[in-house]
Structure 1
Protein backbone atom coordinates (compact mmCIF):
# COMPACT_ATOMS: atom_id res chain seq x y z
CA UNK A 1 0.00 0.00 0.00
CA UNK A 2 1.24 3.48 -0.84
CA UNK A 3 0.58 6.64 1.16
CA UNK A 4 1.22 9.97 -0.53
CA UNK A 5 2.21 12.85 1.74
CA UNK A 6 3.38 16.41 1.25
CA UNK A 7 1.56 16.72 -2.08
CA UNK A 8 1.86 20.21 -3.58
CA UNK A 9 0.62 21.89 -6.74
CA UNK A 10 1.90 25.25 -7.95
CA UNK A 11 0.94 27.40 -10.95
CA UNK A 12 3.27 30.15 -12.17
CA UNK A 13 3.33 32.69 -14.98
CA UNK A 14 6.74 32.97 -16.59
CA UNK A 15 8.05 35.26 -19.30
CA UNK A 16 9.91 33.67 -22.20
CA UNK A 17 9.82 36.34 -24.89
CA UNK A 18 6.09 35.83 -24.48
CA UNK A 19 4.23 34.64 -21.38
CA UNK A 20 3.78 30.95 -20.59
CA UNK A 21 1.67 29.21 -17.95
CA UNK A 22 3.35 26.31 -16.14
CA UNK A 23 2.11 23.74 -13.64
CA UNK A 24 4.51 22.17 -11.12
CA UNK A 25 3.57 19.20 -8.95
CA UNK A 26 5.53 17.29 -6.32
CA UNK A 27 4.77 14.57 -3.78
CA UNK A 28 6.47 12.29 -1.26
CA UNK A 29 5.46 8.62 -1.52
CA UNK A 30 5.50 6.33 1.53
CA UNK A 31 5.06 2.62 0.82
CA UNK A 32 3.70 -0.03 3.18
CA UNK A 33 7.17 -1.51 3.68
CA UNK A 34 8.53 1.88 4.84
CA UNK A 35 10.26 2.83 1.58
CA UNK A 36 9.94 6.47 0.49
CA UNK A 37 10.32 8.16 -2.83
CA UNK A 38 9.86 11.65 -4.23
CA UNK A 39 8.29 12.62 -7.53
CA UNK A 40 7.73 15.90 -9.27
CA UNK A 41 7.47 17.54 -12.64
CA UNK A 42 6.59 20.65 -14.55
CA UNK A 43 4.41 21.11 -17.61
CA UNK A 44 3.89 24.05 -19.94
CA UNK A 45 0.16 24.74 -20.40
CA UNK A 46 0.14 27.56 -22.91
CA UNK A 47 1.88 30.59 -24.37
CA UNK A 48 0.38 34.09 -24.37
CA UNK A 49 1.15 37.45 -25.89
CA UNK A 50 0.56 39.39 -22.67
CA UNK A 51 1.03 38.90 -18.95
CA UNK A 52 -2.61 39.45 -17.93
CA UNK A 53 -3.86 36.87 -20.42
CA UNK A 54 -1.41 34.33 -19.02
CA UNK A 55 -2.36 35.23 -15.44
CA UNK A 56 -6.10 34.87 -16.15
CA UNK A 57 -5.61 31.40 -17.65
CA UNK A 58 -3.28 30.25 -14.86
CA UNK A 59 -5.70 31.50 -12.19
CA UNK A 60 -8.69 29.79 -13.84
CA UNK A 61 -6.81 26.48 -14.20
CA UNK A 62 -5.61 26.63 -10.58
CA UNK A 63 -9.07 27.49 -9.27
CA UNK A 64 -10.65 24.61 -11.20
CA UNK A 65 -8.08 22.10 -9.92
CA UNK A 66 -8.39 23.45 -6.38
CA UNK A 67 -12.13 22.84 -6.47
CA UNK A 68 -11.68 19.38 -8.00
CA UNK A 69 -9.18 18.39 -5.30
CA UNK A 70 -11.56 19.60 -2.59
CA UNK A 71 -8.79 21.23 -0.56
CA UNK A 72 -9.95 24.05 1.75
CA UNK A 73 -9.35 27.74 0.96
CA UNK A 74 -5.92 28.79 2.21
CA UNK A 75 -4.51 25.24 1.99
CA UNK A 76 -0.75 25.53 1.51
CA UNK A 77 -0.63 22.53 -0.82
CA UNK A 78 -1.85 24.62 -3.75
CA UNK A 79 -0.30 27.91 -4.85
CA UNK A 80 -2.19 30.33 -7.06
CA UNK A 81 -0.20 32.48 -9.52
CA UNK A 82 0.84 35.91 -8.29
CA UNK A 83 -1.07 38.82 -9.81
CA UNK A 84 1.24 40.86 -12.08
CA UNK A 85 0.50 44.08 -10.15
CA UNK A 86 1.53 42.43 -6.87
CA UNK A 87 4.83 41.33 -8.41
CA UNK A 88 5.56 44.89 -9.59
CA UNK A 89 4.57 46.33 -6.18
CA UNK A 90 7.00 43.92 -4.46
CA UNK A 91 9.77 44.95 -6.85
CA UNK A 92 9.15 48.65 -6.13
CA UNK A 93 9.34 48.00 -2.35
CA UNK A 94 12.85 46.50 -2.74
Structure 2
Protein backbone atom coordinates (compact mmCIF):
# COMPACT_ATOMS: atom_id res chain seq x y z
CA UNK A 1 0.00 0.00 0.00
CA UNK A 2 1.47 3.32 -1.08
CA UNK A 3 1.69 6.17 1.36
CA UNK A 4 2.70 9.81 1.04
CA UNK A 5 6.38 9.01 1.65
CA UNK A 6 6.61 6.33 -1.04
CA UNK A 7 4.80 8.55 -3.55
CA UNK A 8 7.18 11.39 -2.79
CA UNK A 9 10.20 9.06 -3.15
CA UNK A 10 8.93 7.89 -6.54
CA UNK A 11 8.51 11.49 -7.70
CA UNK A 12 11.98 12.59 -6.50
CA UNK A 13 13.87 11.50 -9.64
CA UNK A 14 11.24 13.20 -11.82
CA UNK A 15 11.52 16.38 -9.73
CA UNK A 16 15.32 16.28 -9.97
CA UNK A 17 15.11 15.89 -13.74
CA UNK A 18 12.76 18.91 -13.96
CA UNK A 19 15.08 21.01 -11.84
CA UNK A 20 18.07 19.99 -13.94
CA UNK A 21 16.20 20.93 -17.12
CA UNK A 22 15.36 24.37 -15.69
CA UNK A 23 18.97 24.88 -14.60
CA UNK A 24 20.13 23.81 -18.06
CA UNK A 25 17.84 26.39 -19.71
CA UNK A 26 19.09 29.13 -17.38
CA UNK A 27 22.73 28.17 -17.96
CA UNK A 28 22.17 28.23 -21.71
CA UNK A 29 20.79 31.76 -21.42
CA UNK A 30 23.77 32.88 -19.35
CA UNK A 31 26.23 31.15 -21.68
CA UNK A 32 24.60 32.91 -24.63
CA UNK A 33 25.07 36.25 -22.88
CA UNK A 34 28.69 35.39 -22.08
CA UNK A 35 29.36 34.57 -25.76
CA UNK A 36 27.76 37.86 -26.79
CA UNK A 37 30.08 39.75 -24.45
CA UNK A 38 33.02 37.68 -25.74
CA UNK A 39 32.16 38.61 -29.35
CA UNK A 40 31.91 42.28 -28.42
CA UNK A 41 35.31 42.10 -26.75
CA UNK A 42 36.77 40.30 -29.78
CA UNK A 43 35.50 43.15 -31.99
CA UNK A 44 36.96 45.74 -29.63
CA UNK A 45 40.35 43.98 -29.55
CA UNK A 46 40.52 44.36 -33.32
CA UNK A 47 39.20 47.94 -33.35
CA UNK A 48 41.28 49.46 -30.54
CA UNK A 49 44.87 50.29 -31.46
CA UNK A 50 47.76 48.61 -29.70
CA UNK A 51 48.92 50.21 -26.48
CA UNK A 52 51.76 52.68 -26.91
CA UNK A 53 54.47 51.78 -24.38
CA UNK A 54 56.11 55.19 -24.99
CA UNK A 55 53.05 57.14 -23.83
CA UNK A 56 53.48 57.88 -20.10
CA UNK A 57 49.77 58.72 -19.76
CA UNK A 58 48.59 55.72 -21.71
CA UNK A 59 46.49 53.01 -20.16
CA UNK A 60 46.88 49.37 -21.21
CA UNK A 61 43.45 49.29 -22.88
CA UNK A 62 44.30 46.85 -25.66
CA UNK A 63 46.02 44.43 -23.27
CA UNK A 64 43.09 44.66 -20.86
CA UNK A 65 40.63 43.85 -23.64
CA UNK A 66 42.68 40.81 -24.63
CA UNK A 67 42.68 39.57 -21.01
CA UNK A 68 38.93 40.15 -20.65
CA UNK A 69 38.28 38.34 -23.92
CA UNK A 70 40.23 35.31 -22.66
CA UNK A 71 38.32 35.37 -19.36
CA UNK A 72 34.96 35.54 -21.18
CA UNK A 73 35.98 32.62 -23.39
CA UNK A 74 36.72 30.54 -20.28
CA UNK A 75 33.47 31.62 -18.60
CA UNK A 76 31.25 30.95 -21.62
CA UNK A 77 32.85 27.57 -22.26
CA UNK A 78 32.56 26.49 -18.62
CA UNK A 79 28.91 27.59 -18.40
CA UNK A 80 28.09 25.48 -21.43
CA UNK A 81 29.78 22.44 -19.93
CA UNK A 82 28.26 22.59 -16.43
CA UNK A 83 25.08 20.63 -17.17
CA UNK A 84 27.00 17.97 -19.08
CA UNK A 85 29.40 17.60 -16.14
CA UNK A 86 26.51 17.44 -13.66
CA UNK A 87 24.72 14.73 -15.63
CA UNK A 88 27.83 12.56 -16.08
CA UNK A 89 29.59 12.78 -12.74
For Structure 1 versus Structure 2, the TM-score category normalised by the shorter chain is 0.3 to 0.5
The structure, 1 or 2, with the larger RCO (C-alpha pairs under 8 Å, 6+ apart) is 2
TM-score by length of structure 1 reads 0.31
Structure (1 or 2) with the larger CA radius of gyration = 2
TM-score by length of structure 2 reads 0.32
**Which structure: greater strand fraction?**
1
**Which structure: greater helix fraction?**
2
